[in-house]
Structures are given as structure tokens and as C-alpha cells.
């Protein structure tokens, strides 16, 4: 059986930002929200409802999984999430797709000499 991302791509903006936030390290929900804010330079504010709705789906699809807390003293309500190897490959595929789209966009939008 070959891995297929067909049904999962393209990623929604919220999912893309969540996966990007988790690509560097395990984060808890609030950490993901802050990282998304940082990555988007304050332009994309993810609410907890949207975040956990998407996390629920990502957990069910095996794209993200729960990770062990970093320290035993951490607030017990705080759960950490991690990108699975499958999730990482999915994100890499999406980034490739976006790069191709960007390349095409740059070619078509490049300023051209005006016709005379």
C-alpha cells in the first residue's frame, strides 16, 4: 500500500499554520497559538476553538499525536502535541506544492515590457 496524501491536500490555512508550528518542536495548545501568531507576524490569530477542532481531526488522521509533557511539574491541563513522521511527510508535500505555485505566480506576475 502506497502512502497517499490526495485526500488531505491542499491543507487549509489553519492546518498549515498548526503543522508549521509543530515542525520545529513539540508544543502545547497555547504554544501553537503563539507560534502561529509569530510566524504570521501577527496577521493570523488562531482561536482555541479553531485550534482544537483542527487538532481533533489531525489526531484522528494520525498526522499529529500527543507527546509526553516536558516536565512532571507542568500544569496537568497542558498537553503537548507532536508531528508524526506521516504528518511531516504531508507537510513537506504541501510545501513543495506551494513552492511550485509560487514559482508559477512569479513567472506570470513578473513585470513585462509594455506593448507598443
Partner 1 sequence: MMRPMYRCLLALHPAMFRDRFAEEMLWIFDESQGRWPRKLFVDGVVSLFRQWLLRSNIWKIGVATAVCSVLLFAWWQGQESSLDAAFSRGDPGALEAAAASRIQQTAAQTAARTPDPVKAVQGIVDAFRDHPLVMVGEAHWMQQAGNFYVQLVRDPAFQEAVQDIVVEFASRNNQPLLDRYIAGEDIPMEDVRHIWRDTTKVASWESPIYAEWLAAIREVNKGLPPNRRLRVLAGDTAIDWSQIRTHAEWAALGDNNISFADVIVNQVLAKKHRALVVLGSNHVAKNGGRDADNARTRVESRYPGSTFIVQTNFPGLLDSASQALLSSPGRNTPVLYKLVGTSLGEAADRNGTPLSAKADALLYLGPPETSLALPPAGSLESTYLKEVDRRSMIEWGELRPRKFLGPAAQ
Chain contacts with partner 1 (rule: CB under 8 A): 1, 3-4, 28-30, 33, 45, 47-50, 52-53, 55-56, 59-63, 65-66, 75, 77-79, 84-87
Nearer to partner 1 (CB atom), residue 41 or residue 60 = 60
In the complex, minimum distance from the CB of residue 64 to partner 1, in angstroms, rounded to a whole number: 10
Nearer to partner 1 (CB atom), residue 1 or residue 109 = 1
Q: What angle do CA 52, 54, 60 make, to 5 degrees?
A: 100
Q: How far apart are CA 62 and CA 55, in angstroms?
A: 10
Question: How many CA within 13 A on the CB side of residue 19?
Answer: 26
Amino acid at each position: 500500500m502506497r502512502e497517499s496524501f490526495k485526500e488531505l491536500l491542499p491543507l487549509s490555512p489553519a492546518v498549515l499554520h498548526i503543522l508549521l508550528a509543530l515542525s520545529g518542536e513539540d508544543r502545547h495548545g497555547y504554544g501553537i497559538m503563539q507560534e502561529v501568531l509569530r510566524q504570521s507576524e501577527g496577521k493570523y490569530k488562531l482561536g482555541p476553538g479553531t485550534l482544537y477542532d483542527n487538532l481533533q481531526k489531525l489526531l484522528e488522521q494520525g498526522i499529529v499525536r500527543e507527546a509526553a509533557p516536558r516536565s512532571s511539574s507542568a500544569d496537568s491541563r497542558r498537553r503537548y502535541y507532536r508531528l508524526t513522521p506521516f504528518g511531516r511527510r504531508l507537510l513537506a508535500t504541501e510545501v513543495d506544492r506551494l513552492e511550485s505555485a509560487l514559482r508559477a505566480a512569479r513567472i506570470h506576475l513578473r513585470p513585462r515590457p509594455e506593448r507598443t
